[in-house]
């Protein structure tokens, strides 16, 4: 891991140190192009959730030059913590400042400055003492390159110190439990004092099931590995993140962050149920449309009029194209369609319908990308009608090729449908044509605020239809 990657990993977790120390943290980096330690620039800043800020303004981008009295310069040069605890005033607020060198291979790569607002510090109690003790251990681990730890798998559910904290001694005994942590254990069914209990045994007794995030709970709650797991009991759930704490040569036990995720889990289950319901609706709509298409096919076989048979086949084809969109949506978690699959199925259907007259090679070159569901149905109908027109009129229901060439340019989708037929007659104009297919195409493209042109190809024999459609913001 490079120094840059290591610092980025630290910044993703440094809120833990900020919350435990009740302090603002500032990351100072030596400016490239200057002598190391000559000029520093603030590249990141975080404020604590557990206490008041000591820095009223954002200082990211500010620079400081080397000053033998400045804590950042002292920490960089001495490779040790530089502390000012004389309650120096910052914007009228007494602030303690620690400058902590970040070392890799015994060389400084950055300095973390810790600003603590002394005016807003809470009265010292068990919570404050345990938070500060854990912060000091993490600070020493940071200097030795042992912090950051393994990041949580789901940052949205990851607990923070304000959500709940347990302090576990090397023996596995809980020496401190914050009020929020105690409340969470009560919801899980714990009785009696949490402090003094053995953490592994307590979680084993409570759980109906422990969901481990990549490791086994019983084997790994021993202070050696960071671990993440969920406990569910009595309709409640809590997420735990176990962080090992290390002194220079021995373990200092563990810090356990916990968060009551009962409401979040309930919301997630509701969303999963909603998604499943929507997918089932799309699946049933697809089945119903396929039934309609099958009925139209049966009806066309019983008709003696060639014109009536053709009309029913066209209706069957249009219904089938809509069914393909709903089939794709029935497998998706979002109301959007990967339209390439839909287009390929349409081309297969067009080729099958033309097989009785000749061999048609229908293919797609390029990608439609993801299309919003409310746009996909109309687009599938348009592609179906234009491909069918290319087979019937362009190729004269004989052998040939039909190519679909989609292209995205920012917020615009352009689709060309080319055939290798005889081309359009001299003086052809799309306006005034009474074809049902062209009427459907014009109406749908108008609803999509798009445009269409139909002309002869310049690169070869045949015709090309070009559709230009605006895409909504966020379509990918």
| Structure confidence by residue, pLDDT tens digits, 403-424 | 999 999 888 999 999 988 878 8
The answer to whether residue 243 scores a pLDDT higher than 50 is yes
Whether residue 392 is predicted with pLDDT greater than 90 in this model: the reply is no
Residue 234 has pLDDT above 60, yes or no: yes
Higher per-residue confidence, 98 vs 354: 98
329 vs 246, higher pLDDT: 246
Other Cβ atoms closer than 10 A to 201: 12
The mean pLDDT of 8-23, rounded to a whole number, is 93
Per-residue pLDDT, averaged over 235-240, amounts to 88
Confidence at residue 460, expressed as pLDDT on a 0 to 100 scale: 84
Phi, psi values for residue 236, rounded to 5°: -110, 160
| Tens of pLDDT, residues 252-280 | 999 999 999 888 877 777 766 666 777 77
pLDDT above 60 (res 354): no
Q: Is the pLDDT of residue 74 over 50?
A: yes
Overall average pLDDT of the 173-199 stretch: 92
Look up residue 162 and give its DSSP letter: G
Mean pLDDT of 325-333: 70
Least confident range of 57-66, 108-117, 314-323: 314-323
Q: CA torsion sign, 282 to 286 to 291 to 293?
A: positive
User: Is residue 225 very low, low, confident or very high in pLDDT (cuts 50, 70, 90)?
Assistant: low
> Please, which residues have CB within 8 angstroms of residue 350's CB and are 6 or more apart in sequence?
360, 362, 384, 387, 388, 391, 402
pLDDT for residue 353 = 60
Helix (H) or strand (E) holding 88: strand 82-90
Sign, Cα dihedral of 296, 319, 341, 419: positive
Q: Is the pLDDT of residue 233 over 90?
A: no
More confident residue, 393 or 120: 393
Q: Quick check: 313 pLDDT over 80? A: no
DSSP state of 191: -
Confidence (pLDDT) at 397: 66
Query: What pLDDT is recorded for position 231?
Result: 87
pLDDT of residue 378: 85
Instruction: Tell me: pLDDT of 218 over 50.
Output: no
CB 230 within 8 A of CB 240: yes
Which is more confident, 129 or 385? 129
Which residues pair with residue 227 across a beta bridge? 242
CA distances in angstroms from 264 to 117, 177, 210, 238, listed in the order given: 33, 22, 17, 10
Alpha helices in 232-372 (DSSP H): 262-302, 306-329, 339-354
Average pLDDT, the chain: 83
**Residues of the chain with pLDDT > 70: what percent?**
87
Residue 428 pLDDT greater than 80, yes or no: no
Which of the two residues, 467 and 351, has the higher pLDDT score? 467
pLDDT band at 427 (very low <50, low <70, confident <90, very high): confident
What are 240's strand-pairing partners?
A: 229, 258
The band of 210, judged by pLDDT with boundaries at 50, 70 and 90, is very low
- Beta-ladder partners of 39: 65
Q: Are 9 and 94 in contact (CB under 8 A)?
A: no
């Amino acid at each position: 891991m490079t120094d840059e990657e290591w610092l980025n990993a630290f910044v993703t977790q440094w809120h833990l140190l900020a919350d435990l120390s009740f302090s603002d943290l500032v990351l100072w980096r030596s400016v490239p192009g200057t002598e190391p330690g000559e000029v520093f620039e603030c590249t990141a800043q975080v404020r604590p959730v557990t206490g008041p800020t000591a820095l009223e303004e954002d200082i990211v981008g500010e620079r400081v030059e080397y000053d033998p009295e400045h804590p950042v310069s002292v920490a960089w040069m001495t490779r040790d913590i530089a502390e000012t605890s004389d309650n120096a005033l910052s914007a009228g607020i007494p602030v303690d400042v620690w400058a902590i060198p970040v070392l890799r291979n015994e060389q400084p790569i950055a300095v973390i400055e810790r600003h603590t607002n002394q005016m807003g510090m809470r009265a010292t109690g068990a919570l404050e003492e345990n938070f500060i003790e854990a912060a000091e251990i993490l600070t020493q681990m940071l200097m030795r390159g042992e912090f950051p730890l393994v990041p949580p798998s789901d940052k949205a559910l990851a607990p923070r110190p304000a959500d709940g904290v347990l302090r576990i001694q090397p023996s596995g005994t809980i020496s401190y439990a914050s009020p929020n942590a105690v409340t969470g254990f009560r919801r899980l069914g714990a009785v009696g004092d949490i402090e003094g209990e053995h953490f592994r045994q307590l979680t084993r007794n409570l759980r109906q099931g422990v969901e481990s995030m990549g490791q086994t709970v019983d084997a790994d709650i021993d202070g050696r590995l960071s671990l993440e797991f969920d406990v569910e009991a009595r309709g409640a759930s809590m997420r735990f993140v176990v962080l090992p704490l290390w002194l220079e040569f021995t373990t200092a036990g563990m810090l356990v962050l916990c968060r009551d995720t009962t409401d979040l889990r309930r919301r997630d289950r509701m969303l999963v149920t909603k998604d499943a319901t929507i997918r089932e609706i799309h699946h049933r709509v697809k089945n119903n449309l396929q039934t309609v298409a099958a009925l139209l096919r049966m009806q066309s076989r019983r008709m003696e009029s060639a014109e009536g048979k053709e009309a029913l086949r066209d209706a069957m084809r249009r219904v089938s194209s809509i069914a393909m969109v709903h089939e794709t949506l029935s497998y998706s978690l979002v109301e959007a369609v990967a339209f390439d699959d839909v287009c390929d199925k349409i081309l297969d259907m067009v080729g099958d319908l033309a097989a009785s007259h000749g061999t048609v090679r229908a293919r797609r070159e390029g990608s439609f990308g993801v299309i919003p569901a409310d746009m996909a149905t109309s687009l599938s109908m348009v592609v179906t009608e234009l491909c069918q027109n290319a087979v019937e009129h362009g190729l004269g229901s004989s052998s040939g090729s039909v190519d679909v060439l989609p292209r995205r340019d920012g917020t615009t989708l352009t689709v060309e449908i080319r055939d290798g037929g005889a081309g359009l007659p001299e003086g052809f104009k799309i306006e005034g044509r009474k074809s049902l297919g062209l009427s459907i195409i014009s109406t749908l493209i108008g609803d999509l605020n798009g445009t269409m042109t139909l002309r002869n190809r310049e690169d070869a024999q045949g015709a090309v239809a070009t559709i230009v459609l605006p895409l909504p913001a966020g379509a990918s």
